[in-house]
Structure formats: C-alpha cells, structure tokens
C-alpha cells in the first residue's frame, strides 16, 4: 500500500476527419506514393498553367491587328484572329447582310430539339413542332419568299450548316430507325434479314465512305439528267448512317419492354401495329431518349467530316476563312481552339443533360 | 328422367386456304412485298447507274486494278513504286490502315485503362485530371483533333536541320520521329527461336502452377515465373547466336536525320490523334465496368485478406471484364473506322489511296466498293475475335 495514484496518460485526441486540413490529408497525402503523385502532378499542372497563362493571356494580342499578331508570334496567342474572322467561321460564306436570318433559322431549328429533351413535351404535337421548325429553317435560310433574297445552298456554311446537317439527319433517321428496329425483332425471316443486313452493312463501314458514295455515286444512281444538290446528297448519306446506329439504340429500348406487355396487348385484342403504337413504343422510346441524345452528340461531331467532300460547315469554314487570307493564315491554332471550344460547349452540355435525364427516367423504375 | 345435353360438336377445321385473316399468309405477303420492293429499287439503281455510265463514257469493271497506278505513296510497303499496278497500291493502303489501327488499339487500350482506373484514385488530383482528360477529348470532333495534331507537327516542331534530340538516339522534327531500329542479323533467329520456346515453357509452367494450386492449395508466383522463363529463354537464344546487338542508329546528315526507323508526321498525327480520342472513350468503358461491380465484392475480398491489387485482379476485374468487353469491341471498331480520316491529313491509308485512284481512273463505284469491303472484313473479323473473348469471360453456369 502507499503507492501514489498515478493516472495513465490521456490518449491523444482522434485525428480530425472534417475541415480543410483533413480533406487535404485524405485526398492528397493519404500515403507516400499518393503524396509523390500529388507533388509530381501538381508541378506538372502548375507548369502547364504558367505557360498557358503566359501564352494565352499575358502576351496575347486581343486586337484584330495582323501586324501586332505577327510581332507576338511564338510568345503570345493571337485572339484577334477570332475577332476578325470569327463571324466568317461561324457563318461561312452566307452573305453578311443576311446573317440575322441565319441566326433566326438556327433558333427555329433548335426549338424542337430543346422541346424534345424535356419529358413534359413528349406529346403528339411535338411532331408538328419538328415539321414547323425545319420548315422555318429552310424558309429563312433559303429565302426567295416573303421578300427575302434567295441564298443558294452552296453559300451556306458554318454553325448553321453543322446544326442543320445534324438535326435534319436525326429527324429523318428517327422514323427509319423505328421501322428498322421493329423489323429486326420481327418473326418474318425475310424482313428480319433485310434489316440486319442494312444495320450491319452501314455500321461496318466508316462514315467517310458513305460520304464519298454520296458525292461520287449518287449522281449515277438517279435517272439520267437528274443530279440533286450536293447538300441533299450528303444529307441522305448521313441519314442512312444515323438511322442504322439509331435503330440499334431503339432496339435496345424495345428489349426493355417486358414480354408481358405485348401479351397483355394481344389479350385485349390489339393488332400488331396498335400494340406497338399504343403499348410498346411509348415505353421503349422514353427509355432510349438518353441514348438518342448520345447519338446526336456523336453525329454533331461527325458532321465535321463533310468538309472532306467540300461543304463548308464549322471546320470547313475555318479552313476557308484562314486559307484565303495570307495575313491570318499563321494563326490557325487559335482558330482551331476557338471552334474546339464551340464544339466542346455544345457536346459537353448535352452529355451532362442526358446524364441527368437518364437518372430522372430511372427514378420511376428503380424505386 | 333428365335429358342429357347433346355433346357439343367438334369445332370446324381451321381454314388452311389462302385467307387474308391468316397471320401466316399475311406474313408471307408482307415479306414478298418487301423483298420485291428492295429488288425493284436495286434494279432501278443498277439500271440507271449503267445508263449514266454509258452516257458519260465511264468504263466499269475491276480490270483497272492491273494497270499501272502512276502515283507515289508516302509510306510504301513491299517495295511499291508508281509503275506498280493499282492492286498493289491498294494493298499498301490496307497495310497502312492496319498498321495505324493495330498500334493505335494497343496504345489507346493502355492509356484508356490507366485513365479509367485513375477515376477511382484516392488522390483528388489524379481523379480530376482523368476526368478532365476524358471530357476534353471526347467532346471535340476527332477530325478537328487530327487537324490540330497535324498543325502542331508540321508548324510547331523544329526544322529538319535542327531537330530536337533525346540521348542522341531519338530525333523529332518536321520530318517526323526517328528512332533506332534493330538490324536483322542471322543470330537473331536463335533469339526468336528462344522466345518461341519461352512461350511454350511459360504456358507449360502456368498449367503446372494451376494444377498444383488446385491439388495442394499452394500458390506459385505464376506471372513472375512465366515472365522470367520467357526472358531467360530469349536471352539464352540471343547468347547462343553470338549475342549480336546491332541497331541502325539515326544520325544527322547536313540537311536532315537519316537512317534508323522513322515515323512520318502524317503517321504520328493519325496514330496520336486516334489514340488520344479513343482512349477517352475506353476510359469511360473501363470506369463504367468497374463501377458496376458491387461494393460488397471489394469488401468481401478485403475481409478475406486480399490486398487492393489482388482484389482488383482476382475479384473485381473478372467481373468488370464481362461488361467491358462488348463496348470495348465497339471502340476498337470505331478506331479502325476513324482511321479513314487519315485522308484529311494525307496519310496514305486505304481511303486516301482510293480517293487518288478515283480521281485518276474515274472508277468511283469500284474504288468505293473496295473501301467498304476492306472495312467490312476488318469489322467482322474484329467482332468475331472479341465475341470469342467475350464468351471466354462470360459467366460459367451449369
């Protein structure tokens, strides 16, 4: 007895798991290899940011002055090329006095697209909005009526052409895709094999070969003496291409509709087309909207290929704008970054929205 | 006495005649209509094509393939020259397409897998960088990316007279990349033989290790052993052949780099452009595959005492692969098809050769048919190969 009471030392307080310092420890310095990765990557990012800011902001020339740009070459970016040529890149050879028409036409074209993205608008009248939007686009772009001067299609270009090729091909591919997808699931062997051959044939070859076909071979296909506009031929080519890919997406949607649904439709006496139209397709199509939006995004990117068959959409208009002007030709990289940013803004925002939509549609089925 | 209800009469035999009410008959009618409509359309196309060709004096047929091509190709194979016939030019184009596709597939798979796994890193910088890469590269058209790479290679690299160099072995300039290429001497034959023997020995060893594991539960270092065997036999073969190590080194002449192996700027453009673009898509495929494996699987393997790496390799990846392989096949096919964009930067793939041939010979129908046949064949072969892989990784159910 008699030993003095000595308490055991208190345990250290637990490590903080909240707050900035804890976040840094958990996400940047969790282990030694992790810390090394952080330091190396941090140094690399800092180096990249330093050079980009120096080139793109500090030494950059913002004024549309070719001499200033020439002087800053190699050390700074010349954003002046976008101020000077941006309008030409976005609109192509469309007459500059009529640019307002192109802007209105694009808005008319985008209205049905935006409406289709929202489940609230999935009603029968949507088809009318599509027809009206596309008709308004052509009236405004082509002119020749209502006192608008006529602008032939070979002067169309830039962003309106890019969007038109995408939207119009998608709109025309959609009904084809639904029919082909139904045909591929049909029990009739001849119809099923025709649909399979179409889908696999188109999906097996690159788009560029279809575009070559559109520009070299379509004139030969038609009756002697008739050769449609190159724009029409290219649209037909892209539509056939898009329809094959979309048919596979729609088929995926059809597969999500349970067999019980068609059996129920049979048992209440609906015929094949009635059952498809009233029971199967409404469920299948709602399920594939995110997939179709992804298809839309890839088609939007793929329309850049038409520049190879000499249509001046966004990418082609850029080469046209800078190639014809020796003063500005050296500053192509800045212009490339500009249209890359345009494409990125369109595609990225759409892909984000399609992800959101997918989650929202899944909410109903995965409760 | 109660009256019996007379038995019902047997139902009348179903009419088997030709009636529009029979589903079978309607089916045949629809099919007949569809097939004849397609046949009529085909006949219309062929006949008007032939009429148009006669009218414009276009010759048809594949006989032009035997005539001399008359144009040079930047990246020839099997000693192609402009006096050689068209079919040889097309063969060169096919080889160039396959070369860029195969190297691109390997490169983009490695990069894409690394990026996809990087999305799960605990390090926020790694995670964020992988995310930004994927979003940046897959939301810009691949053609635009190719044009940017091409501009970068042809405008922003130093002139051929003063290339960038690394260790005196690699040179980069507007003429492309030069690197040491192995020089073939007979001694290498034994090294190759050793390598082949090594593959056999490694397969045998793996089989043995697996059997031993199944019988006794003892594990042998399988991968390490197999690689060691492979390296050892190759080294043995090289040593037996007199260990010749001969490389043809690139060297500076007065105006440019000469000798060694070299990749042209066009090839580098197509290779890097396609690989970087496709790897962003592959990263997404890999990420989705790994994310689909339930968290319980990670936890269960951790509770069995597997390390993070082994749980990834033995538990997560086999399950993720089942979901990864089908979309991965699509990405490989996309890369192969996108290699047709080489025509925009002048890399002589099969499409650019066909384009030149169309302009020179005027045989558009034939040349486009050749392009389509080449791509269809590669697509079908790749799908067949990947389907086989898919079946191997599928669930083995009773």
- Compare A237 and A227 and report the one with higher pLDDT: A237
> CB-CB: which of B144, B151, B376 is closest to A204?
B376
Angle at CA of residue B141, ends B139 and B147, nearest 5° = 130
For chain B positions 96-155, those within 8 Å of chain A (CB to CB) are: 122-126, 129, 135-136, 139-144, 147-148, 151-152, 155
Using CB atoms within 10 Å of the CB of residue A321, give its burial: 0 to 12 exposed, 13 to 18 middle, 19+ buried: buried
Chain B residues touching A344 at Cβ < 8 A: 136, 139-140
Q: Do A347 and B140 touch (CB under 8 A)?
A: yes
pLDDT score of B137: 93
B2 close to A (CB below 8 A): no
pLDDT score of B39: 92
The alpha-carbon radius of gyration of chain B (Å, integer) is: 30
pLDDT score of A238: 92
**Best residue in B147, B273, B359, B370 to probe A by mutation, most A CBs within 10 Å?**
B147
> Structure pTM?
0.83
Chain A residues touching B27 at Cβ < 8 A: 187-188
B61 in a structural domain: no
Q: Is residue A102 a contact partner of residue A151, using CB atoms and an 8 Å limit? A: no
Q: Do A208 and B376 touch (CB under 8 A)?
A: no
How far apart are the CA of B175 and the nearest CA of chain A, in angstroms? 20
pLDDT score of A353: 87
Q: Report the 3 state secondary structure along B360-380.
A: HHCCHHHHHHHHHHHHHHHHH
**Cβ neighbours, 10 Å, residue B360:** 15
Q: Do A217 and B53 touch (CB under 8 A)?
A: no
B386 in a structural domain: yes
pLDDT score of B397: 53
Chain A nearest-CA residue for B366? A217
Q: How far is CA A266 from the centre of its chain?
A: 39
In degrees and rounded to multiples of 5, residue B323 shows phi and psi of: -85, -25
pLDDT score of A344: 93
In degrees and rounded to multiples of 5, residue B129 shows phi and psi of: -65, -40
**Cβ neighbours, 10 Å, residue A25:** 15
A342 close to B (CB below 8 A): no
> CB-CB: which of B31, B122, B358 is closest to A216?
B358
For chain B positions 61-100, those within 8 Å of chain A (CB to CB) are: none
Q: What is the pLDDT along chain B (398 residues), one digit of tens a residue?
A: 567 888 888 777 665 667 777 778 888 888 899 889 999 988 988 888 888 777 777 777 777 777 777 777 777 777 777 777 888 888 888 888 888 999 999 999 999 999 998 888 888 888 899 999 999 999 999 999 999 999 888 888 777 777 777 776 777 777 778 777 776 666 677 778 888 888 888 888 888 888 888 888 777 777 788 888 888 888 887 777 766 666 677 777 666 777 667 788 888 899 999 999 999 999 999 998 888 888 888 889 989 988 877 888 888 888 888 888 888 888 888 898 898 988 888 888 888 888 888 888 777 888 888 889 999 988 888 778 877 777 776 666 54
Chain A nearest-CA residue for B26? A188
How far apart are the CA of B93 and the nearest CA of chain A, in angstroms? 15
> CB-CB: which of A194, A304, A348 is closest to B135?
A348
pLDDT score of B110: 93
Q: Do B141 and A308 touch (CB under 8 A)?
A: no
Chain A residues touching B155 at Cβ < 8 A: 332-333
For chain A positions 103-132, those within 8 Å of chain B (CB to CB) are: none
Q: Do A191 and B30 touch (CB under 8 A)?
A: yes
Q: Identify the DSSP state of A306.
A: G
Evaluate if residue A44 carries a pLDDT over 70: yes
Return the residue matching tokens 């050793």: B194
Q: Is A353 left (phi over 0), alpha (psi -120 to 50) or beta?
A: alpha
B3 in a structural domain: no
Q: State both tokens at B369.
A: 């048919």
DSSP string, A30-67: SSHHHHHHHHHHHHHHHHHHHHHHIIIIIS-B-SS-HH
B318 in a structural domain: yes
A219 close to B (CB below 8 A): yes
B4 in a structural domain: no
pLDDT score of B282: 93
pLDDT one-digit tens code per residue, A264-321: 988 998 888 888 888 888 888 888 888 888 888 989 999 888 888 878 888 888 888 8
Q: State both tokens at A213.
A: 């076909």
Return the residue matching tokens 């597997």: B306
Q: State both tokens at A224.
A: 């002697």
Range of the domain at B136: 86-155+263-393
Collapsing DSSP states into helix, strand and coil, what is residue A117? coil
Q: Do B55 and A188 touch (CB under 8 A)?
A: no
pLDDT score of A367: 47
pLDDT score of B77: 72
B39 close to A (CB below 8 A): no
Q: State both tokens at A353.
A: 């929205």
Domain count, chain B: 1
Please tell me the distance from the alpha carbon of residue B343 to that of residue A305, in angstroms, as a whole number.
11
pLDDT score of B300: 92
Closest CA to A315 of A284, A279, A343, A345: A343
Please tell me the distance from the alpha carbon of residue A344 to that of residue A201, in angstroms, as a whole number.
30
Return the residue matching tokens 């995004």: A297
> CB-CB: which of A189, A208, A347 is closest to B341?
A208
Give the residue-averaged pLDDT of A224-229: 72
pLDDT score of A180: 92
Q: State both tokens at A175.
A: 């009904």
CATH number of the domain that residue B105 is part of = 1.10.3720.10
Please tell me the distance from the alpha carbon of residue A206 to that of residue B377, in angstroms, as a whole number.
12
The sign of the CA dihedral B238, B242, B245, B247 is negative
Q: Do A208 and B340 touch (CB under 8 A)?
A: yes
Alpha helix locations (H) across chain B?
A: 23-56, 86-118, 124-138, 142-151, 187-216, 222-240, 265-291, 295-303, 308-311, 317-338, 350-361, 364-393
**Residue A164 CB partners (closer than 8 Å, separation 6+):** A109, A137, A141, A156
How far apart are the CA of A245 and the nearest CA of chain B, in angstroms? 12
A24 close to B (CB below 8 A): no
**Residue B262 CB partners (closer than 8 Å, separation 6+):** B175, B176, B177, B178, B179, B250
Q: Is residue B69 a contact partner of residue B357, using CB atoms and an 8 Å limit? A: yes
> CB-CB: which of B35, B135, B141 is closest to A301?
B141
Please tell me the distance from the alpha carbon of residue B19 to that of residue B123, in angstroms, as a whole number.
71
**Residue B297 CB partners (closer than 8 Å, separation 6+):** B315, B316, B319
Give the residue-averaged pLDDT of A155-176: 89
pLDDT score of B395: 61
Q: State the architecture of A151-309 in CATH terms.
A: Orthogonal Bundle (1.10)
**Cβ neighbours, 10 Å, residue B126:** 21
pLDDT one-digit tens code per residue, A47-98: 999 988 888 777 777 777 777 777 777 777 778 777 777 788 888 888 877 7
Alpha helix locations (H) across chain A?
A: 20-28, 32-53, 66-71, 80-91, 99-116, 125-142, 158-184, 189-204, 207-212, 218-221, 230-256, 259-267, 272-275, 281-302, 314-323, 332-365
The predicted complex's ipTM stands at 0.86
> CB-CB: which of B51, B136, B341 is closest to A224?
B51
- Give the number of A-B residue pairs with CB atoms closer than 8 Å: 150
pLDDT score of B292: 87
How far apart are the CA of A155 and the nearest CA of chain B, in angstroms? 22
Question: What are the residue boundaries of the structural domains of chain A, listed by start?
Answer: 56-93+312-358, 151-309
Closest CA to B333 of B269, B273, B281, B265: B281
In degrees and rounded to multiples of 5, residue B376 shows phi and psi of: -60, -45
Using CB atoms within 10 Å of the CB of residue A135, give its burial: 0 to 12 exposed, 13 to 18 middle, 19+ buried: exposed
Q: Do A204 and B51 touch (CB under 8 A)?
A: no
pLDDT score of B283: 93
Q: Do A223 and B48 touch (CB under 8 A)?
A: yes
Q: State both tokens at B138.
A: 């897959």
Q: Do A220 and B142 touch (CB under 8 A)?
A: no
């Amino acid at each position: 007895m008699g030993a003095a009471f000595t308490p055991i030392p208190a345990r250290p307080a637990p490590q903080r798991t909240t707050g900035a310092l804890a976040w840094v420890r958990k996400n940047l310095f969790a282990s030694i290899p992790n810390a090394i990765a952080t330091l190396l990557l941090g140094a690399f990012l800092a180096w990249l940011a330093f050079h980009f800011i120096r080139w793109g902001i500090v030494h950059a020339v913002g004024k549309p002055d070719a001499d200033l740009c020439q002087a800053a070459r190699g050390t700074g970016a010349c954003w002046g090329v976008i101020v000077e040529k941006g309008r030409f890149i976005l609109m192509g050879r469309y007459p500059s006095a009529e640019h307002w028409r192109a802007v209105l036409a694009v808005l008319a074209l985008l209205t049905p697209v935006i409406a289709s993205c929202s489940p609230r608008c999935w009603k029968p009248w949507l088809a009318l909005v599509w027809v009206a939007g596309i008709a308004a686009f052509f009236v405004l772009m082509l002119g020749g009526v209502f006192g608008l001067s006529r602008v032939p299609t070979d002067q169309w270009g830039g962003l309106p052409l890019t969007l038109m090729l995408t939207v119009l091909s998608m709109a025309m591919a959609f009904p084809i895709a639904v029919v082909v997808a139904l045909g591929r699931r049909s029990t009739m062997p001849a119809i099923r094999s025709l649909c399979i051959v179409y889908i696999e044939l188109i999906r097996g070859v690159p788009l560029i070969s279809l575009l070559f076909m559109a520009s070299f071979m379509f004139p030969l296909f038609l009756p002697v003496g008739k050769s449609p506009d190159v724009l029409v031929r290219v649209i037909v080519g892209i539509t056939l291409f898009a329809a094959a890919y979309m048919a596979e997406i729609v088929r995926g949607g059809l597969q999500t509709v349970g067999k019980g649904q068609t059996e129920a439709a049979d048992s209440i006496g609906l015929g094949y087309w009635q059952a498809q139209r009233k029971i199967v397709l409404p469920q299948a199509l709602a399920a594939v909207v995110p997939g179709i939006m992804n298809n839309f995004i890839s088609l939007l990117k793929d329309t850049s290929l038409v520049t190879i068959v000499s249509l001046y959409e966004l990418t082609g208009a850029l080469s046209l704008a800078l190639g014809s002007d020796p003063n500005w030709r050296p500053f192509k990289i800045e212009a490339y970054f500009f249209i890359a940013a345009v494409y990125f803004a369109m595609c990225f925002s759409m892909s984000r929205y399609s992800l959101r939509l997918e989650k929202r549609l899944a909410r109903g089925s995965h409760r | 006495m109660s009256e019996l209800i007379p038995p019902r009469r047997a139902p009348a035999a179903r009419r088997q005649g030709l009636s529009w009410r029979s589903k079978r008959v309607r089916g045949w009618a629809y099919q007949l209509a569809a097939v004849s409509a397609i046949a009529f359309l085909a006949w219309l196309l062929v006949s008007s094509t032939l009429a148009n060709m006669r009218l414009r004096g276009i010759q048809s047929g594949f006989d032009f393939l035997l005539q001399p091509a008359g144009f040079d190709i930047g990246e020839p194979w099997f000693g192609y020259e402009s006096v050689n016939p068209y079919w040889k030019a097309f063969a060169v184009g096919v080889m160039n397409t396959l070369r860029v596709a195969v190297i691109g597939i390997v490169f983009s798979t490695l990069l894409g897998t690394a990026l996809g796994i990087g999305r799960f890193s605990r390090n926020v910088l790694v995670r964020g960088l992988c995310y930004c890469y994927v979003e940046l590269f897959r939301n810009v058209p691949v053609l635009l990316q190719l044009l940017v790479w091409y501009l970068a290679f042809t405008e922003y690299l130093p002139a051929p007279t003063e290339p960038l160099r690394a260790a005196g072995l690699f040179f980069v300039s507007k003429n492309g990349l030069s690197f040491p290429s192995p020089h073939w001497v007979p001694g290498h034959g034994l090294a190759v033989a050793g390598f082949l023997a090594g593959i056999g020995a490694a397969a045998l060893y793996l089989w043995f290790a697996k059997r031993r594991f199944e019988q006794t539960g003892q594990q042998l270092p399988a991968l390490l052993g197999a690689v060691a065997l492979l390296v050892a036999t190759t080294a043995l073969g090289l040593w037996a052949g007199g260990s010749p190590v001969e490389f043809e080194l690139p060297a500076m002449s007065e105006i440019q780099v000469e000798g060694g192996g070299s990749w042209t700027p066009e090839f580098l453009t197509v290779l890097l452009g396609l690989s970087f673009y496709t790897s962003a898509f592959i990263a997404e495929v890999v990420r989705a595959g790994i994310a689909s494996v339930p968290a319980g699987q990670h936890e269960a393997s951790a509770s069995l005492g597997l390390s993070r790496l082994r749980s990834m390799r033995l538990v997560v990846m086999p399950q993720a692969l089942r979901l990864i392989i089908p979309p991965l096949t699509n990405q490989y096919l996309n890369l192969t098809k996108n290699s047709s964009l080489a025509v925009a930067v002048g890399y002589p793939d099969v499409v650019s050769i066909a384009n030149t041939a169309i302009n020179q010979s005027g045989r558009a129908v034939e040349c486009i048919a050749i392009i389509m046949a080449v791509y269809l064949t590669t697509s079908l072969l790749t799908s067949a190969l990947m389907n086989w892989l898919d079946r191997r990784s599928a669930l083995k159910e009773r």
